Amino acid sequence: IMISALITAAGSSARYGKNKMLEPVQGKPLLIRTLERFLACGEIEEIIVTARNSDKKTYEELTGTLDIVKIVTGGKQRIESLLNALNASSGDILITHDGARPLVTPGLIEELISWVKKTGAAMTAVNPTATVKLTDNQSMKIVGTLPRAKTWIAQTPQGYNRNILKQAMEKAVREKYFVPTDDSEIVARMTSHDIVVVPGDHSNIKVTHRSDIVIANELFEVYLNS
């Protein structure tokens, strides 16, 4: 069984203000820090990274010495980018991951892979630390409280058998279902396959805002020294 990682790094970084993938995390670009986590996982045989046209050459230069890394051009939508990466990959199992999550551990990636081998589709997620309320959208009155033990905040990595992810992404692109959500929701909506939750890690943050890069640097310093 060949396992490929599909790393999405073709976003506009609109909320960040500039390409966050090139921001330094303890002396290296964020993208490289993320790739290092997957390179440290022995089961990953191929890494496909999506890039905007304007960033492709920069990413190729950054990853030039990393033999198993290939850069492909992304699409206008995340789903299109992921499908481009999928079509450029060879893996029987595909692990999808946000390029902006540099703190994923190789151990978590390996745990996820073991569940994908057993079930065909699995994702990492964490229970919320705060209480989540449901409201009526019009009145904004509280109509319910979600129990924390059964409520999960989606993360990446996520993993799928190739045919499951391919079917879901191709159908989503055909139907132009470009709702900015996570891969598991697309797979659940576009196929009938169940998805298993693998408990993730609260430290596995996604760098979205400028303050997140400060947190990532602090966490990474602990990570490197542990």
> H helices within 43-101, ranges in order?
53-62, 78-88
Q: Report whether pLDDT(170) > 90.
A: yes
pLDDT mean across residues, the chain: 94
Strand, coil or helix: 44: coil
CA gap 75, 187 in Å, rounded: 19
Residue 38 has pLDDT above 70, yes or no: yes
Task: Report, as an integer, the average pLDDT of 24-29.
Answer: 96
156/123 Cα distance (integer angstroms): 7
Average pLDDT over residues 23-43: 96
Mean pLDDT of 46-50: 98
Q: Indicate the SS3 state at residue 99.
A: coil
Is residue 171's pLDDT more than 90?
yes
Phi, psi of 185 (to 5 degrees): -70, -35
Q: Is the pLDDT of residue 211 over 90?
A: yes
Amino acid at 71: I
pLDDT score recorded for residue 76: 87
| Helix or strand holding residue 174 (H, E) | helix 162-174
Is it the case that residue 154 has pLDDT exceeding 70? yes
Confidence of residue 87 (pLDDT cuts 50, 70, 90): very high
Instruction: Say if residues 204 and 111 touch (Cβ distance below 8 Å).
Output: no
Cβ-in-10-Å burial (0-12, 13-18, 19+) of 171 comes to middle
The pLDDT score that the predictor gives to residue 208 is 92
pLDDT digits (tens, 9 = 90+) for 93-151: 999 999 999 999 999 999 999 999 999 999 999 999 999 999 998 899 999 999 999 99
Q: Check residue 178 and give its pLDDT.
A: 83
N residues, the chain: 226
222: left (phi over 0), alpha (psi -120 to 50) or beta: alpha
Other C-beta atoms lying within 10 Å of the C-beta of residue 61 = 10
Q: Is 222 exposed, middle or buried (0-12, 13-18, 19+ CB in 10 A)?
A: exposed
Q: Do 168 and 161 form a contact (C-beta atoms < 8 A)?
A: no
pLDDT(224) > 80: no
Residue 15 has pLDDT above 80, yes or no: no
- Kindly indicate the confidence band of residue 226, based on its pLDDT and cuts at 50, 70 and 90: low
Give the global pTM. 0.94
